[in-house]
Structure 1
């Protein structure tokens, strides 16, 4: 191995130095002419033998470790083959493949895991880092960028967003050259990052800092260009860029975060050195509204000062400076204690009535406790009943189902939410299919999932007159109605077969399905006639019961 060869070279070099100094240690000329040379050659040969032995031992050890890893890789693959939902096996396989530098298999393992589960922010960051080290073209840059985009969609992670922005500044061709198009792309991505992660009390400052760092660099370059007479738009461009930097400082000073005093100090230092905006040289004594811990805040312009003092107060209530919320969140490790701390902090945010901050707090909770369903349930209640933004509702349900797939009630709520949002039946069918293979724990939960799907299909075909869906149902073409009827009947058959096969003791569920189907068939048959003939409906219902009796 290369490492063993380097060690052998170093040892051989050391031996040569020692032998060169040997004649000074009292040997006579005759010793050097005769036995001295022979002894030197014997010692060199001995050192070479030792070095070769060390090399062989190292290679044998590495070969044994690699063989052990490959055997373990095979074992873990077997566990995944028998149970694709073994989360820890996926994590272990990725770690083993990464250690063995098996790049293609590593990529495949990561994709396989992400097809079933969201990867943690740390896993996304590690994946992007590995791929970044292999970049050889702009196409490779685009692939890594796509990885970061996938990662930030799964969890709100300030550290992942910060890594994403840093990657763009270092590798994206249009951004590294600071072209207008590149700067526009970076600013758009950075604004996304601030929207999602900028309100994070403990780590949001890193996102602000990365964004502001590039804008400050652009300002320095504009100033240099102006001084050297190398292009640029002169004072107007410099003023415009300084305003960008100042606006970022002002925005961040209005956001509660643990580094708020440091941000204030950085802003004042920048304004004094680079910004050029005059600030009061001798600030007035703090007013009753001012916090005694921040006399420098008196140097801020009026509206910025008011926002800063409010942010400082909120940070003190929910941060390290006071209260139990943010400080507790930053220090607790145990999930139950962490849950309690977040719940207390969330109560503070809810009392403020600030919806963006409440949403940011929920995002922190689900990132910290992704497999605790109660955490997702709180977030779902918020987006269902208060936020009501369709894209956010879909996103939260989608991520909740990937993190807690074993919770049957989550899947039923997911299907109902999609129906309320007017989702296409293909989208609902996709969620339904995922629910059936998600590892739900009980017969009742599976039964509820089937009933929820059947209810949705029924409402689509036979909407109540008072509902908005009535127009949708009435506007179905004959072909669409026929396909929906086929889907409905196939789902009834599938539900009965599933329950009879996996839960044969739940006879009540089978009876309920038969009765429900008979009821719907009667209505469908009645609706098919111009007068809604009850006789046809009754015959259709009896047909369902007759089939049930024959089977059971």
Structure 2
């Protein structure tokens, strides 16, 4: 894989990833597979993509679909070669299950696709297992129904301030129900993509990231983007310097980078 392109995509990956950017990233990687090691590298990249963007309610399925298509194409190749493909089949099934456990807009379509796919690939799957999958999907659809009003309101609204207010209510709801931190972060990213100059929302996001995200690089990345978008807001700079010290990244070189 071209080293310069790899570095460029890695840099983009730290800058508030959109689903579209991740799709370009993984598609570039897939198109440059030459060895078995490259296949594993692409898997790692897909895992990174779904961990960051896979819970985007309206667009996350695009990442999961690309991942599934990649793994299913490998399965088809192994089947054509006539070699043992049980492990690869399990990988494909696992991706279906993982996606179907998330409240994404096309959950029902994905489930229908799984039923069609499993009828030919998993003819001997026990009926009890299929019943359990059906129950899990029903739970996911119920959860999706609870947030559809927010997604519908965002789709129908054209006013920036209204959209941001909807996102704030959406974020509050997800926090109150104790949803996974990355799911909340995706909402912050979506809201700030609508209005990147909302200084108080950036500050709220910085505090949330610091409390709930394990990666120092991710937290400091949020801080960096907050000051870049709202350089006039001194509290964001104060938080950034505080967190750099907290995560032991307050060297003279780092400070020089901020000041210049």
TM-score, normalising length from structure 2? Answer: 0.90
How many residues are aligned here?
A: 259
Instruction: Report the equivalent of 1:33.
Output: none
CA 1:387/1:215 → structure 2, altered by over 3 Å: closer, same or farther? closer
Instruction: Report the equivalent of 1:201.
Output: 57
* 1:156 is aligned to 2:17: yes
Contact 1:215 1:244 in 2 (8 A): yes
1:190-210 deviation per Cα after TM superposition (whole angstroms, max 9, x unaligned): 000001000000111010011
Instruction: Report the equivalent of 2:27.
Output: 166
Candidates 220, 225, 229, aligned match of 1:399: 225
**For the pair shown, which has the larger CA radius of gyration, 1 or 2?**
1
Match of 1:276, SS?
coil
CA 1:211/1:389 → structure 2, altered by over 3 Å: closer, same or farther? closer
Contact 1:369 1:375 in 2 (8 A): no
Candidates 289, 302, 314, aligned match of 2:143: 314
1:282-321 to structure 2, matched below 5 A, reads: 300-302=130-132, 304-319=133-148
Contact 2:52 2:182 in 1 (8 A): no
1:339-418 to structure 2, matched below 5 A, reads: 339-354=164-179, 355-387=181-213, 389-418=215-244
CA 1:244/1:432 → structure 2, altered by over 3 Å: closer, same or farther? closer
Instruction: Report the equivalent of 1:337.
Output: 162
Contact 1:383 1:389 in 2 (8 A): no
Contact 1:246 1:275 in 2 (8 A): no
RMSD, aligned CA: 2.2
Instruction: Report the equivalent of 1:144.
Output: 5
CA 1:276/1:180 → structure 2, altered by over 3 Å: closer, same or farther? farther
CA 1:258/1:370 → structure 2, altered by over 3 Å: closer, same or farther? same
CA 1:243/1:380 → structure 2, altered by over 3 Å: closer, same or farther? same
Match of 2:105, SS?
coil
Alpha-carbon shift at residue 275 of structure 1 (Å): 3.3
Alpha-carbon shift at residue 270 of structure 1 (Å): 0.5
1:349-403 deviation per Cα after TM superposition (whole angstroms, max 9, x unaligned): 1122122322232232233332322221221121234446533321210121122
Contact 2:26 2:46 in 1 (8 A): yes
1:252-267 to structure 2, matched below 5 A, reads: 252-267=99-114
Which whole-Å CA distance do the structure 1 matches of 2:125 and 2:258 have between them? Answer: 62
Instruction: Report the equivalent of 1:251.
Output: 98
Which whole-Å CA distance do the structure 2 matches of 1:209 and 1:377 have between them? Answer: 34
Which whole-Å CA distance do the structure 2 matches of 1:242 and 1:265 have between them? Answer: 18
Which whole-Å CA distance do the structure 2 matches of 1:326 and 1:430 have between them? Answer: 42
Instruction: Report the equivalent of 1:218.
Output: 74
Which whole-Å CA distance do the structure 1 matches of 2:9 and 2:213 have between them? Answer: 27
Which whole-Å CA distance do the structure 1 matches of 2:55 and 2:202 have between them? Answer: 19
Q: Which runs of 5+ in 1 are unaligned?
A: 1-137, 227-233, 281-297, 435-552
Contact 2:14 2:218 in 1 (8 A): no
Q: Which runs of 5+ in 2 are unaligned?
A: none
Contact 2:17 2:53 in 1 (8 A): yes
Which whole-Å CA distance do the structure 2 matches of 1:383 and 1:165 have between them? Answer: 25
Which whole-Å CA distance do the structure 2 matches of 1:267 and 1:203 have between them? Answer: 19
CA 1:367/1:306 → structure 2, altered by over 3 Å: closer, same or farther? farther
Match of 1:154, SS?
coil
Contact 1:415 1:432 in 2 (8 A): no
1:484-508 deviation per Cα after TM superposition (whole angstroms, max 9, x unaligned): xxxxxxxxxxxxxxxxxxxxxxxxx
TM-score, normalising length from structure 1? Answer: 0.44
Instruction: Report the equivalent of 2:41.
Output: 185
Instruction: Report the equivalent of 1:238.
Output: 85
